[in-house]
A = this chain, B = another copy of it.
Amino acid sequence: MKYTIFGESHGPAIGVVLEGVPAGVALDLEAIQAQLDRRAPGKDPTATARKESDLVNIISGFFEGRTTGAPLTMVIRNSDQHSSDYEAIRYTPRPSHGDYAGFIASKGALDYRGGGHFSGRLTAPLVAAGAVARQLLAEKNIWVGAHISAVYGILDDSALQDPEPLKALGDKPFPVLNEEKGEEMRQAILEAKADQDSVGGAIECAVVGLPAGLGAPDFGRNVEGVFSQYLFAVPAVKAVEFGLGAGLAYARGTEANDPFEVREGRVVTRTNYAGGVNGGITNGMPVVFTVTMRPTPSIGLPQESVDLRTGEEVEMEITGRHDPCVVPRAVPVIEAAAALAACEVLKL
Q: Tell me the A residues contacting B by CB distance below 8 Å.
A: 3-8, 11-15, 17, 19-20, 23-24, 59-61, 63-64, 66-73, 93, 95-102, 104-111, 116-118, 122, 150-153, 192, 197-202, 212-222, 224-226, 228-233, 235, 237-262, 265, 267, 269-270, 273-275, 277-284, 290, 292-299, 301, 303-306, 308, 311-313, 347
Are B6 and A106 in contact, CB atoms less than 8 angstroms apart? no
Q: Of B106, B304, B311, which is within 8 A of A68 by CB?
A: B106
Q: Are A239 and B229 in contact (CB under 8 A)?
A: no
Determine how many copies of this chain the complex contains. Answer: 4
Q: Are B222 and A225 in contact (CB under 8 A)?
A: no
Bound state CA distance, A198 and B214, in angstroms?
28
- Given A64-B109, A101-B282, A241-B238, verify A71-B4 contact (CB < 8 Å): yes
Q: How far is the CB of A209 from chain B (nearest CB, A)?
A: 15
Find the residue from A96, A200, A251, A347 having the highest chain B CB count within 10 A: A96
Q: List 29 A-B contacts (CB under 8 A).
A: A17-B17, A24-B107, A24-B108, A60-B117, A64-B109, A66-B109, A68-B109, A69-B105, A95-B257, A95-B258, A95-B260, A96-B258, A101-B281, A118-B217, A150-B249, A151-B249, A198-B253, A199-B253, A220-B229, A224-B237, A233-B280, A239-B240, A239-B241, A248-B295, A253-B298, A256-B295, A259-B305, A260-B313, A261-B313
A-B complex: 4 closest residue pairs judged by Cβ atoms: A98-B279, A24-B107, A104-B213, A101-B281
Q: A23-B105, A104-B213 are in contact. Are A257 and B68 (CB under 8 A)?
A: no
Are B248 and A200 in contact, with the CB atoms below 8 A?
Answer: yes
- CB-CB < 8 A to A267: which residues of B? 100, 306, 308, 311
Given the known A-B contacts A71-B5, A252-B295, are A233 and B225 also in contact in the complex, defined by CB atoms under 8 Å? yes
> In the complex, are the beta carbons of B19 and A118 less than 8 A apart?
no
Smallest beta-carbon distance A320→chain B, Å: 15
Instruction: Quote the shortest CB–CB distance from A230 to chain B (angstroms).
Output: 7
Min CB gap A107→B, angstroms: 3
CA distance A300 to B214 in the complex (A): 29
Considering the chains assembled together, what is the distance between the CA atoms of A297 and B283 in angstroms? 15
Evaluate whether A246 and B252 lie within 8 angstroms (CB atoms) in the complex, with A96-B278, A220-B229 already known: no
Give chain B residues whose Cβ lies under 8 Å from the Cβ of A275: 238
Point out the residues of chain B lying under 8 angstroms from A235, CB to CB: 217, 279-280
Shortest Cβ distance from A232 into chain B, in angstroms?
4
In this complex, which of A212, A238, A249, A278 has the most chain B Cβ atoms within 10 angstroms of its Cβ? Answer: A249
**Chain B residue at minimal CB-CB distance from A215:** B105
Which residues on the B side are within 8 Å of A23 (C-beta)?
Answer: 105-107, 109
Return chain B residues, CB-CB under 8 Å to A4. 4, 17, 19, 71, 218-219
